[in-house]
Structures are given as C-alpha cells and as structure tokens.
Structure 1
C-alpha cells in the first residue's frame, strides 16, 4: 500500500479566494478579463474558488473609469480616479475590506490580479499628486489589507504563477495551510504542532534550510509562548519559508537525508543505485521523480512510520503536475 495514498481526499477541494477577472469574469475596468489558464484548467478540479472583485463590490460599473494609487502630501497612499484625483475611493475600499475580510478566515489561499491598484500584490504603479510616476513600488489596496489581516495566507499573483518555481511553492503552501486548518479545527495544542512539524520537516528543508532549523527550535521552545502567539509565529514563519522556491541542491540534500533511513536494510547494490540517481538529479540530468520514485519503492518494501508520514514525499496531489 502506498503510504501517501490517503493524504488527499478527491472530494475535498481547497477554498481559495481569487480575483474575479482571473477566473475569467468580465469585470475589469475596460469590460475585459485576465483569465488564468493555470487557475481555470490545472487548479480548478482541486479548488473551490471564491471569486471577488473589490472594485465591482464598491458599486463601480463595468466598464468604468480607471483608478490608480496616489501618494498625497501627507505620504498617504490613496485609491483615486485616474483622471480626477478628487474622486477618492480609499475610505470606501477600507470599509469594504473591514466588512469582507472576516469572511475569508477559512481560505487556504488567494490569487490576485497583477498590477491592479486594488488587487496587485507587488510592483503596482504609484504616482504623486501631480501625476508624476514614483515607480512600481505599491501594493493594491485590497490585497494590502488582506495580507495584513492574514499574514500566514498564501497570496500570489496570476502573472507570477507562470513561473514554475513560484507555482510549485504556492501549491505547496496552500496544501500545507489546508492541512494545518484541518488539524487545528478543534483547537491548537503543542502536541498537534509537534505532529504537524514532524510531517513537514523535509518540505521545509527543501525550501529554506535556515527556517527549517529556526522552526525546529521554536517548536522545541513552544511552552515559552502563549498558544495563540506560538501558533501565529510558527504558521507565519513556515509560510514565509515555503514561499522560497526549492532548488536541486536542497532537494538533493533532503533525498540524502531520506536515503539514510534505509542504509541498514538496503543491499550495497541498492544503495549505490539510489545514490547514483540522487547525484544525477543534483547535476540536472534527471527529474526529481526518478530518485523519489525509487525512495518510495524502498519505503514500500521496508516500511518506516517516520518516513511514511513525511509530506515531502507528496506535498500535494500528483495530478496537479507542478512539481519540478
């Protein structure tokens, strides 16, 4: 029996917020959309998407005048009409966020529209009161509030998800958060944290070796913190670590750790074969699937409860096809 076979319930879909235009809805200021093929094709069978357009929710029509982010004389960033900055939507947007964001506490991720003055996650254009460009240095007003209220929530832009490494990291993060939400549904405890962390050690090591060690120390010192503070510290730090894309070097390091669990049960020939595959992967000659498949084969022949529970072996459904 595959020890990872029951990790993902086919009927369970992750609740993911998404900019409505990214899902293909024609709600943009120009009456168009920015449909993401990854979201509407690859991710759709695994996601319960909750589309939302904050501009439309404010009552702005489709089509509508364009808006932009402006820094005023008081250094405040305001959401204003592109051609008439006296038409200011900032306060209305903040009220909308105060109303809607609490409804998103159970989301496992959020995908936003790049460059949008309401939804952009980074590099949104900012101007001064005279209209002079200050650079692509801002964050969309809605997304800024979203990330401040839920700093552990995986948030990513449609455009950035075209990058294979970022895409894999995002999918890893949403499944890790969903697992956390399931485990902590009836309350947080240090015992649950220890169990959760033990399952994600090698996932963390593949993404961020420094955070892997730091989070290990945090868990070991868990009794020094109030439960809510400990949960928040761990989850925020973990999600930040997983946002760092994996590398062949880090993966090879993890694979070497895992092969160590079998060194006493494998023949010299079997060990040499596995080590050769890890080396070939490290130097870029073969995909990760090759040594990983052989490791899983040895795990089936030589069961090990600790290795079997490692989410690294399958951090998300294989059918997503995003592992690199």
Structure 2
C-alpha cells in the first residue's frame, strides 16, 4: 500500500481558500506524489465554512487564550467547532506517515502565524494554526512540515526522509510486533542515528539492548516517539562526515592505498563544503558492490529514499 500523507487541500491544488484560490506546491504535486498517496483536508471547509468565505484570524484574549474568529465579526468564533473537527479527524489518521500544512494559515500554519490582540496589533513571533497545533499535540511523532519550508533543501530532505522512515517503522514493527522486529529495525538505522543524534544513538541502543525488560506495547510507543524525535534533528555535516569515515573503515582491508586516498579526499572535500554528500556516497556504493558487507548492505543511511527524488543534491 502506498505511503499515506495528510495535506492541506489548498497545497495540493484544490480551490478551497477563503478567496476561492489555492496554494499548489509543485514539489508535492510533481515529485512527492509519485511515492505517496495524499489525504487532503481543508479544516475550514470541514467545519462547514463556504468557498469563498469571510477572512478569519487568530485573536489572543486578555487571558492569553487564543481564539479563531472572523476578522470583521470577531464575535463569530469558530474555535470550538475547529477543535471538535480536529479531534474527530485525527482519529482517522492512524496510517499517516507525514503531513504537509499551509504556511501562515490561522488553521494550518505550523509557525509564525499572525496572532492578533484587541487593538489590532500582533504578538511578536506569532503562533501555530489552531488545527495544526492540535494535530501535533495529539500525534507528536508525526512528521509535519509547511509548504513554504519545503523550498529549503535541508528541511525538504529531512521531512521526506522522516516520511519514509515512519512508513518503514510501521511495516517492519507495528505490523509484526516483536523484540526481533525492533532489533532488526534499529540495526538498519544505526548509522542514521549516528548522523542525526549521537546521544540518541547511544540511548536508543541501550533501550533496545534491554527490550526484554519492557512490555512490548509500552516499548513501541516510547521507542517511536524517541526515534522520531531523534531523526527530526538536522544531520550536521560534522556528524555525516563521521558516518562517512565509519563507512570508510569497513573497506580498509579491501582497497588499495590509492583507492583509500581517493575516498579520504572525497570525504574531506565534503567535510569542507566543497562537495555534496553524493560524491563520497557514490564511491562508497561502488565499493560496496565490489566488496559486499552484510552490515552495510542493510543500512538505511546509504539509500534512505528513492534516488529519483534528488534530495541529496543540495546536501
């Protein structure tokens, strides 16, 4: 079954915005859609608002509470309806492996959404859209990203990687809950964890080593949250260089002196920012085909998602 991903309907191209328009994202429609099945939701339409419709905004009351109101009729409050709708629909999201939301929207925005106060000024830093805030609170492990932030190659790569990773977790572990399934999944992601979070690499390794002391259901929920938190962290160039050097070590008995020097030079060039990670990875993959290693061949870090997405070109 295709990977299930939620999305703000307007980002998919549906004309459901307040003015009857859309905010279609080309990467989502032209590229990511080849690998996932999108589940479009417009929360505002979901609570019965029309297209077109009155403009809405987030209003901070003197108590600090945030309410979703109409801009011209602030006595018309949609907050309770939106919360009820979110609670109901999130109950249908068990299969989702990611969610793309619409930036700046008072319902769907993920960050820096305008938060107004009574005198019509705004609160510095803004807030989170009421629908997305509730979604993330109820599903804190779920990869969520805004359409605009997908233009950043680092954020795009990390988000898509997490989608594929959570899907792998569900197929490998949730559908076959056992200590063996956890150990095998974790083994495949050791280098990924080393790149994203060396501290989580250690703590999750200890957790898996002691899995016999856990109730499996409790372990599932705890591991899923900690693991997804870890891979959400940006894999720094320094950490990825360490992983590349770790990979290099597996070929020390197989490569000639000249081959070792060539690989070391590429890794150092990547470390210095002169090459994308694709350069040393291509050579490592070449050597892995020539000198197969059972441990390296299962490592997700080497092929984390379809090459056709070209996500590592800018890394």
> TM-score under structure 2 normalisation?
0.94
- The Cα shift of 1:75 comes to 2.6
Alignment of 1:178-197 (within 5 A): 178-197=167-186
What corresponds to 2:115 in structure 1?
A: 126
Q: CA deviation at 1:223?
A: 3.5
Matched, 1:111 2:100: yes
Give 1:94's aligned residue: 83
Change (3 A) 1:238 1:185: closer
Quote the Cα distance in structure 1 between the aligned partners of 2:144 and 2:303: 22
Counterpart residue number, 1:276: 265
Counterpart of 1:140 in structure 2 is 129
Pair 300,146 (structure 1): closer, same or farther in 2 beyond 3 Å = same
Report whether the alignment pairs 1:43 with 2:32: yes
**What's the C-alpha RMSD, in Å, of the aligned pairs?**
1.6
CA deviation profile, 1:34-53 (whole Å, cap 9, x unmatched): 11111111212112111110
Deviates more, 1:213-222 or 1:196-205: 213-222
* Greater Cα shift, 202-211 or 54-63: 202-211
1:299 to 256, 279, 288: 288
Which residue of structure 2 lines up, in the alignment, with residue 231 of structure 1?
220
1:316 correspondence with 2:300 = no
Structure with more relative contact order (C-alpha pairs < 8 Å, separation 6 or more): 1
Q: Distance in 1 between matches of 2:275 and 2:137?
A: 41
Corresponding position of 1:6 = none
Provide the secondary structure at the position in 2 that maps to 1:108: strand
| Among candidates 47, 50, 56, match of residue 67 of structure 1 | 56
Residue 111 of structure 1 aligns to a residue whose secondary structure is strand
Per-residue CA deviations over 1:85-128 (Å, capped at 9, x if unaligned) read 21111111111112111111101100000111110111111123
Residue range with higher mean Cα deviation, 96-105 or 127-136? 127-136
Range with greater deviation from structure 2 (69-78 or 287-296):
69-78
Question: Which TM-score applies when normalising by structure 1?
Answer: 0.92
Distance 2:213 2:59 in 1: 44
* Deviation at residue 204 of structure 1 after TM alignment: 1.7
Residues 67 and 80 in structure 1, CA contact (< 8 A), matched pair in contact too: yes
Match of 1:77 among 40, 56, 66: 66
Within the candidate set 229, 234, 238, 1:249 is matched to: 238
Q: Helix, strand or coil for the counterpart of 1:262? A: coil
